[in-house]
Chains A and B, each alone.
Chain A
Amino acid sequence: MSEPTAFLYPFIDREERDPETLLSELSSSARAKIRESAQLTTGTLERLRPDIDRAGCDLAARFARGGRLLAFGNGGSATDACSAVELFLHPPTGRPLPALALVEDRAVVTALANDVGYELVFSRQIMAHGRAGDIAIGFSTSGGSRNVLEGLEEAARRGLSTVGLSGYEGGPMAGNPGVQYPFVVRSDSVHRIQEAQSGVLFELWSVVQKSLEETHGEDR
């Protein structure tokens, strides 16, 4: 992506006027990254297939008994949590399912951050909203976001199912007993991790829908 020798000849870059070479480099770079992203997603789904199936059936059973999904994360992962909630609430096919994003309410998030500390913004909401039959999903590319871990640990203490999406080697989330279903996307690029996490989440949602249709159709 970057040219390792460019710093030696800064004047060359400043003289650069014809964008064609750069455009062709950008295009090849995009093509390679698209391939990398697709391969990472496919490989991750293959590796996690049994765990996604197991979690999906558990989540479907919880939804069938009135459970709700509570999702959270920070930054881009906060928007991924919202995207997950939008998917469950407004699915392209299948049954709409109750889901809440714990990052959406600016009054709640800023009040907790200001008054009790940012590391507790999700766990305090879990205390307020979490019921034993619910599901908590936390997104953290590093696997180490303190508030996401606190939220998942609080959820586990309260009998919620806990799903943790992380990247790299899983970080602190991977070995955390509060995380019942740790889904690790093994990459060290935050962007590629988030893309593959979306794929994992979509697959999890698909399994939930399929399971609800097959085994819990009469529970609606």
Chain B
Amino acid sequence: MTGSITSEDLISSQASLPGDLAVAALALARHFAAGGTLWCIAPRWPSHGSHVAVEFVHPVIVGKRAFPAVHVEDDDLVGAVRLLSRPGDALLAISDANDSEVAAVIRRGDAWGLTTVAIGAGPRPTVRRAEHELWLDDMDMARAARSGAVVLCYHLLWELVHVVFEHPGLLAAGSECPDQVCITCSDEGRVAEVRFRPGGDWAVVLAGGEEETVDVSLVEEADPGDLVLVHAGVAITRVCESDE
């Protein structure tokens, strides 16, 4: 098997990557500027999780700001990130599309108030989608993770975040909804995670990083940790957690 990254691999076939990196870097820089922390998960590729943390905490270029980034390793990643993160933080996940544990964390990003960034390779995720996908579509993840391509993605993210910090006016700008259809602002319904059931048809849920009490009489089960879609104070359906 030949290993090296060729120019063709990375340039001609990853057409969307530079633009996606730019948008993700702007979002991440704004989170850092507002005091947010970057939580990094990479259960199959732990060395990359640590590399991201050292990259942001201890910049290779003297004089660049140190930003809070933490590699989270835990048997229960959902529980660990839920406990550690605060609304306004960001999550960076490094994995292929098939990691169900990573998918479960990313799926909860909206409920916890986190901006989610995914770095991966191969077929893109179909069901769970991070807000920002930095994806090497035409590479196999095992190869991308070992041949320098994944490292390149987060190196560039770091470099571009620091370029954004040279534009203070844009750091202060509010976080506009990046998509045409933003589920937080539209009336489509928001993903919320059930915290606890005070009794009856009610559940206290976390949506957009804030707690609210919603009516769960329409959903058959709503246990703590379950995801539901909330519309106008009512949980209208459970969010399916299988990727099928």
A6's nearest neighbour on chain B, judged by CB, is: B166
Total count of chain B residues near the partner, CB < 8 A: 52
Does A195 reach chain B (CB closer than 8 Å)?
yes
| Cβ 8 A contact of A75, one of B18, B58, B173 | B58
Q: Is B4 an interface residue (CB 8 A)?
A: yes
Please determine whether A79 and B50 come into contact, CB atoms closer than 8 angstroms. Answer: yes
> B140 on the interface (CB 8 Å rule)?
yes
CB-based contact B166/A198 at 8 Å: no
* Docked pose: A26 CA to B28 CA in angstroms: 13
State whether A30 touches B147 (Cβ < 8 A): no
Could you say which residues of chain B place their CB within 8 Å of the CB of A79?
47-48, 50-51, 54
Question: Do A30 and B160 touch across chains, with their CB atoms under 8 A apart?
Answer: yes
B51 touches A41 (CB 8 A): no
* CB of B84 within 8 Å of the partner chain: no
**Which one, A28, A35, A82, contacts B11 given CB within 8 A?**
A35
Interface membership of B7, Cβ < 8 A = yes
A105 at the A/B interface (Cβ < 8 Å)? no
Given contacts A22-B170, A26-B21, A196-B148, contact A80 B51 (CB under 8 A): yes
How far, in Å, is B2 (CB) from chain A's closest CB? 6
Which of A13, A76, A87, A93 gathers the greatest number of chain B CB atoms within 10 Å? Answer: A76
**Measured between alpha carbons, how far is A78 from B46 in the docked complex, in Å?**
12
Q: Which one of A15, A195, A199 lies within 8 Å of B155 (CB-CB)?
A: A195
Q: Decide: A14 and B168 in contact? CB cutoff 8 A.
A: yes
Question: In the complex, what residues of B have CB within 8 A of residue A80's CB?
Answer: 47, 51, 151
Let me know if B5 and A38 touch, CB within 8 A: yes
Residues on B with beta carbons closer than 8 Å to the beta carbon of A209: 1
Q: Does A99 contact B (CB under 8 A)?
A: no
Dominant secondary structure of chain A at its interface with chain B: helix
- Residue A29 is within 8 A (CB to CB) of chain B in the complex: yes
Whether B4 contacts A16 by the Cβ 8 Å rule is no
8 Å CB contact of B51 from A37, A76, A87: A76
Determine the chain B residues whose CB is within 8 A of the CB of A22 once the complex forms.
22, 26, 163-164, 167, 170
A150–B240 CA distance with the chains assembled, in angstroms = 54
Known A15-B169, A76-B51, A92-B140; contact A199-B26, beta-carbon cutoff 8 A: no
B-contact 0/1 string along A63-76, CB 8 Å cutoff: 00000000000011
- Give the tally of cross-chain contacts (CB within 8 A): 168
Task: Report A-chain residues with C-beta under 8 Å of the C-beta of B147.
Answer: 198-199, 202
A19 interface residue per 8 A CB criterion? yes
Contact B151 A194 (CB under 8 A): yes
Q: Does A215 contact B (CB under 8 A)?
A: no
**For the complex, what is the distance from the CA of A23 to the CA of B145, rounded to whole Å?**
27
Complex CA distance for A6 and B163, rounded to whole angstroms: 12
Determine if A110 is an interface residue (Cβ-Cβ < 8 Å). Answer: no
Which B residues lie within 8 Å of A39 (CB)?
Answer: 7
Residue interface bits B25-59, CB-to-A below 8 A is 1, else 0: 11000000000000000000111101100110010
Indicate if the CB atoms of A203 and B159 lie closer than 8 Å: no
* Given A13-B167, A195-B152, A30-B50 contact (CB < 8 Å): no
- B242 at the A interface (CB under 8 A): no
Q: Given A27-B19, A79-B47, A195-B148, is A190 in contact with B166 using a C-beta cutoff of 8 Å?
A: no
Distance, CA A15 to CA B169, complexed state (A)? 6
CA distance A2 to B167 in the complex (A): 10
Q: Is B60 an interface residue (CB 8 A)?
A: yes
Q: Give residues in A with beta carbon < 8 Å to B.
A: 1-3, 6, 13-17, 19, 22-31, 33-35, 37-39, 41-42, 45, 75-76, 78-80, 82-83, 86-87, 92-94, 190-191, 194-199, 201-203, 205-206, 209
Interface residues of B (CB under 8 A from A): 1-7, 9-11, 14, 17-19, 21-23, 25-26, 45-48, 50-51, 54-55, 58, 60-61, 140, 142-143, 145-148, 151-152, 155-156, 158-160, 163-164, 166-170, 173
Query: What would 22 A/B residue contacts be, using CB atoms closer than 8 Å?
Result: A16-B170, A22-B170, A26-B25, A26-B164, A27-B22, A28-B18, A30-B156, A33-B152, A34-B10, A34-B11, A35-B11, A41-B4, A75-B58, A76-B60, A82-B46, A87-B146, A93-B1, A191-B155, A196-B148, A197-B148, A202-B3, A203-B4
Contacts A28-B18, A76-B60 aside, 5 further interface pairs with beta carbons under 8 A come to A3-B166, A16-B170, A26-B18, A30-B17, A83-B146
